[in-house]
Structure 1
Amino acid sequence: MLPYSHASCYTSYGRTELVAGSDLDPQRLQEFGDKWGVEALYADYEEMLAKENLDIVSITTSWGHDHAAIAPVVAASGVKGIFCEKPIATSMAEADHIVKTVQDNGVVFACAYFRRWRPYYHALRDAIANGTIGDLLTITAFGVGTLMHGGTHYADLMSFLAGEPEPAWAFGRIEPPPEGATGWSAEIDPPGSGYIEMKNGVRLILDGVSKGPISFVIAGSGGQLVVHNDGRDATLWRPPDDGGRWWVSEPFPLPPQDRSPPLKIVEDIVSCMDNGGKPLNDEENSARAMELCIALHASHNAGGKRVAFPLADRDLSVDTW
């Protein structure tokens, strides 16, 4: 659903105007300027921050280590809002620094974990909170893949669906790269699986070996929601009214996407700038998504032992594209 790129969202939304851009690649920078009619183009983003009176800055560089380097500088520059690609960093030490700098400077921060702005996941969260499946027990994600690039998306969503409980401990396994895999995904951000117990007793389970579009089984004391195709289809399973052994199913209706998630993020940032409050995925949520997945690496590195939250090793670093 369009608009989807950061630039197209700023040009589509009536409250924002795209006025400047920065890129180390001169050709790509000029193509950006030509496409969007932007004349204030900079090779050095710090020069852009110093010369342009910017309200919101998007950080759209590819690598996590670049997000970690750029975000604190932008947060301390006087801007009011930041829209950052994920993950926000490579280690919890970097993430902690971003959280502190954002909060010290009163910046509205949102990270591009888009599923928090999808209405069908809100419908599922509401159903869980309203007791449709009884007391929530576990959320299992299938098709997680690489932990930092993809897994942080799903760990963040699972935390959102569960009502943002605090994590207690986790154990995990880093999976061997798929046969024939090459490039960054095989070398620095491999698939991973793990088990995370929250302080309220809810369990989050990430399956990094199964294939197909991301799917979830959300299990409660009185039923299950089985969600396929990344939230496009859902089925509710519950015990029969007559007390029989076999559960019965029915389609669980989900609302359609009305506007693109990145556009809704821009709207959310502007609303928070106007009225206060936090976006659906703020600096603390985005740091938490990282910590849930880095914990699985920490457990694997310790021979599969259980690791506690907050993670003791704040310098353990896992990069991703």
Structure 2
Amino acid sequence: MEGDNRQTKSGITRRRFLAGTAAAGAVSACPGALAAAAPSAPRYRVAVIGHTGRGNYGHGLDRVWLEIPETQIVAAADADPKGLAAAVRRLGNPRPYPDYRRMLDEVKPDLVSICPRWLDQHCDMVLAAAERGVRGIYLEKPMCRTLAEADRMVAACERHGVKLAIAFQTRYSPKLAVIQRLIESGALGRVLEFRARGKEDHRGGGEDLWVLGVHMFNLIHHFGGAPQWCFASVEQDGRPICKEDVVEGNEGIGPLAGDTVHAMYRLARGATAYFDSVRNGRGSPTRFGLAIFGSRGVVQMFNTGQIPDTYFLPDSSWSPGRTGKRWIPVTSAGVGKPEPLENRGLHGGNLLAVRDLIQAIEEDRQPLASIYDARVATEMIVAVFESQRAGGPVRLPLANRCNPLTMLE
């Protein structure tokens, strides 16, 4: 079955899940040791693609290579002349190109960073890089605008043997291995549900779902398994969205609607997941993050990056006001232990991600946050709008690979 094939390629089996978690912990625990072990001469030639004014260079996807000894940035492309000049200064004077296709043709890099936050060019950029024989791609999230684009990107990378890693920086956090140990040891109990929220600022609703929810969906997929179905509602001003509510979304998202999103998913490992976002409903401090509810306690993780704020509540009632139980900080060293690592935020996550991408190329495996994981997260987003359009639950993988908002009547 097509769905089973995708599940296998995205690494959903228990063996690969545990191996991936262990690999992330190993890479995260000793990034300095890995860098020290690298040879002094660069072995990988890197090209950077940005677009000033249309997503720029993402969250540091250009600069990350400067700290990877076995790589050298040899070229940068940006259609904006001022932005290109600034990138050349910032990145150590690589060859400048106004056209990324010409850069790929002439430079023939081993690795490419596709940096713009705006996702409307992601598909074309990935196809161009894959078709020209690059070995690896580091891509800013979200992956692309539609599932049809995602399918084309996957097909191109498969056809040309390209490893693609998506910038889900939290996937590489060493804290994920600690959370997995809480699950495996039984300390958290049986995992019953996942609850995630976006930042719920002015982007709350559909834009929050795309831009920030994508991080949460990757974590839900990682811990809970592949989504089986989605049942969701999308509202505008307190009523279900209609065709007239659809507008062109920010950051190249394409057709978009909704200031309120409520979504429910059934996951392969038996738990249920929820995602919610309400415009201008943000908390202080932020509620942006993921909570994992087990039969013996709760884990909460806030924000994204290398060392996200994480806490464990050993309370089967989930109600510390009644039981007097306390939230215990979770670090990369374990529950209630001091944090031994410097928190370098998203940049730290980028360092771990590109290190893993290089290892994936050398070991001929998928990156920990692979193109298949990126497609699953995209599918979880699109399923929200497809469920709203259908008026009920929809099964995943979705049969409809287009943007459901273009099909509203």
TM-score interval (norm. to shorter): 0.7 to 0.9
**Which one is further off, 229-238 or 67-76?**
229-238
Deviation at 1:171, TM superposition (A): 1.0
Distance 1:177 1:130, change over 3 A: farther
Give the corresponding residue for 2:282: 211
The one-letter code matched in structure 1 to 2:157 is V
SS at match of 1:147: helix
Separation of aligned partners in 1, 2:302 and 2:149: 34
How high is the sequence identity, in percent, across the aligned residues? 27
Give the corresponding residue for 1:264: 352
Q: Deviations over 1:276-305 (max 9, x none)?
A: 2121100100000000111011111223x1
1:220 equivalent in alignment to 2:281:
no
SS at match of 2:331: coil
The one-letter code matched in structure 2 to 1:157 is L
Q: For structure 1, which runs of at least 5 residues remain unmatched after alignment?
A: none
1:54 equivalent in alignment to 2:91:
no
Q: Aligned to 2:364, which of 272, 276, 279?
A: 276
Distance 1:309 1:183, change over 3 A: closer
SS at match of 1:18: strand
The one-letter code matched in structure 1 to 2:269 is N
1:171 equivalent in alignment to 2:234:
no
Q: For structure 2, which runs of at least 5 residues remain unmatched after alignment?
A: 1-58, 239-247, 333-338
The one-letter code matched in structure 1 to 2:144 is A
Q: How does 1:1-321 map to 2 (within 5 A)?
A: 5-143=60-198, 145=204, 146-162=208-224, 165-176=225-236, 184=250, 188=256, 190=258, 192-209=261-278, 210-212=281-283, 213=286, 214-228=288-302, 231-239=308-316, 246=323, 248-255=325-332, 256=339, 258=342, 260-303=348-391, 305-316=392-403
Separation of aligned partners in 2, 1:71 and 1:77: 10
CA contact (8 A) 2:148 2:402 kept: yes
Q: Deviations over 1:89-119 (max 9, x none)?
A: 1111110111111112111110011110122
TM-score, length basis structure 1: 0.86
Distance 1:298 1:117, change over 3 A: same
Deviation at 1:177, TM superposition (A): 7.3
Distance 1:317 1:47, change over 3 A: farther
TM-score, length basis structure 2: 0.69
Separation of aligned partners in 1, 2:122 and 2:81: 20
Give the corresponding residue for 2:243: none
Separation of aligned partners in 2, 1:86 and 1:22: 19
Deviation at 1:318, TM superposition (A): 7.5
CA contact (8 A) 1:91 1:317 kept: no
**Which one is further off, 10-19 or 128-137?**
128-137
Separation of aligned partners in 1, 2:169 and 2:110: 22
Distance 1:318 1:150, change over 3 A: farther
| Greater RCO (Cα-Cα under 8 Å, separation 6 or more) | 1
The one-letter code matched in structure 2 to 1:272 is A
SS at match of 1:72: helix
